């Protein structure tokens, strides 16, 4: 019986054809002599077959047309986003083109539509593995970030519940604060440093859904708060949300160690009971 109990954990992978040749041979030898385990393996295979058999679907013929239409619509918008990422000379040159042509009006319309979309974190996440701070600044730029004082950032997004203190726990000092505009609603961001180490913070209205592109966000706990996290390499974009504000902190800090105190500093009035689901 003890042998069978031990076997139980490995019969699933065995029935699925997993495991090394040696492991499989050992299980095979046991299964040959044990009716109970033989029955369990058969039962597991039947369950797998049963899950597999309900697989008849027909892709709607119109689906590609829908995708193609969206691709055609999205192309100019992607060009706009790329444009917004390009700095200095290219941006200035493009501005000239915009000023000369009637293209400006078209792009403005597209920009308005882009801003009404969910907060696009994929642009930030895509750049993390190359240069996290640069990716953060590009994100700020995407949402028309203006460098301001911490007080001005706070005033700009006065409907939000957040703080931009001069110092964060752990020795991080405020480097820059920004006033952002996400759609029609003000938002804010800040950059902190500790001996060259970078931490970014973004505060936006909780009504904005968040788009992580191809990345996945996982539920997590930050101190007393329930939140969620997207991880790219060693960088973590951690979010906690109250009734009005989503507080997003980009760092390499562990949410079980330094991050809870930092979160508390940027969301000082935020109580654990206020943890909210994001749209």
Partner 1 sequence: MDSRDHAPTLTEHELVVRCKRGDRAAQHALYERTSERIFRLLVRMTHSQEHAEDLAQETYLKAFAAIATFDERSALNTWLYRIAVNEALQWLRRKKPALFDPDLAAARPDPRNNGHDPAAHLDLEDAMAALDPMDQAMLLLRYQEGLDYRTIAEVTEIAMGTVASRLNRARERLRELLRDFAPPREETPPDVHPISHGREGAARIAPPVEERAS
For residue 152, give the 3-state DSSP assignment. helix
Interface residue with partner 1, options 139, 227, 258, 270 (CB under 8 A): 227
Q: How does DSSP classify residue 275? A: -
| Sign of the alpha-carbon dihedral angle for 124, 81, 243, 161 | positive
Interface residue with partner 1, options 54, 88, 158, 195 (CB under 8 A): 54
Do residues 257 and 224 make contact, with C-beta atoms less than 8 angstroms apart? no
Interface residue with partner 1, options 1, 21, 52, 89 (CB under 8 A): 52
Number of residues lying near partner 1 (CB under 8 A):
56
Question: Going residue by residue from 163 to 202, which x/- string records binding to partner 1, judged by CB under 8 A?
Answer: ----------------------------------------
**278 interacts with partner 1 by CB under 8 A:** yes
**145 interacts with partner 1 by CB under 8 A:** no
Interface residue with partner 1, options 33, 102, 214, 233 (CB under 8 A): 214
Q: How does DSSP classify residue 224? A: T
* d(C-alpha 127, C-alpha 120), whole Å: 13
Residues 110-129 that bind partner 1 (CB under 8 A): 122, 126
**68 interacts with partner 1 by CB under 8 A:** yes
Token digits of residue 136: 């953060």
Interface residue with partner 1, options 3, 16, 90, 271 (CB under 8 A): 16
State the minimum distance, in angstroms, from the CB of residue 83 to partner 1: 15
CA angle 33, 37, 40 (to 5 degrees): 145
For residue 193, give the 3-state DSSP assignment. strand
Q: How far is it between the farthest Cα atoms of the chain?
A: 84
Interface residue with partner 1, options 216, 257, 261, 271 (CB under 8 A): 216
Residues in the chain: 279
* d(C-alpha 30, C-alpha 1), whole Å: 12
Q: How far is residue 98 from each of residues 8, 27, 80, 103, 258, measured CA to CA in Å?
A: 68, 70, 12, 6, 46
State the minimum distance, in angstroms, from the CB of residue 70 to partner 1: 6
Beta bridge partner(s), residue 221: 226
Question: Going residue by residue from 21 to 50, which x/- string records binding to partner 1, judged by CB under 8 A?
Answer: ------------------x--xxx-xxxxx
> Which positions lie near partner 1, rule CB under 8 A?
9, 12-13, 16-18, 39, 42-44, 46-52, 54-55, 57, 59-60, 63-64, 66-68, 70-71, 74-75, 78, 122, 126, 209-210, 212-217, 219, 225-228, 239-241, 246, 275-279
């Amino acid at each position: 019986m003890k042998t069978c109990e031990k076997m139980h954990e490995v019969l699933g992978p065995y029935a699925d054809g997993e495991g090394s040749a040696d492991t499989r041979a050992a299980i095979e030898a046991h299964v040959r002599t044990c009716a109970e385990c033989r029955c369990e393996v058969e039962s597991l295979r039947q369950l797998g077959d049963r899950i597999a058999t309900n697989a008849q679907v027909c892709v709607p013929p119109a689906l590609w047309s829908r995708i193609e239409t969206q691709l055609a619509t999205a192309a100019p918008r992607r060009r706009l986003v790329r444009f917004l990422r390009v700095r200095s000379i290219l941006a200035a040159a493009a501005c000239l083109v915009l000023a000369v042509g009637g293209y400006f009006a078209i792009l403005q319309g597209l920009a308005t539509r882009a801003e009404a979309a969910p907060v696009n974190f994929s642009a930030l996440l895509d750049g993390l593995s190359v240069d996290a701070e640069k990716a953060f600044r590009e994100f700020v730029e995407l949402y028309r970030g203006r460098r301001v004082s911490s007080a001005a950032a706070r005033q700009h997004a006065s409907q939000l519940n957040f703080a931009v203190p001069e110092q964060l726990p752990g020795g991080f000092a405020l480097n820059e604060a920004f006033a952002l505009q996400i759609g029609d609603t003000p938002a804010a961001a800040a950059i902190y440093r500790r001996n060259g180490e970078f931490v970014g913070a973004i505060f936006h209205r909780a009504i904005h859904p968040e788009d992580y592109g191809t990345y996945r966000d996982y539920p997590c706990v930050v101190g007393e708060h329930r939140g969620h996290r997207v991880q790219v390499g060693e960088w973590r974009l951690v979010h906690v949300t109250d009734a009005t504000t989503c507080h997003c902190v980009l760092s390499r800090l562990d949410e079980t160690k330094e991050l809870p105190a930092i979160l508390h500093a940027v969301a000082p009035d935020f109580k654990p009971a206020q943890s909210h689901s994001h749209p």
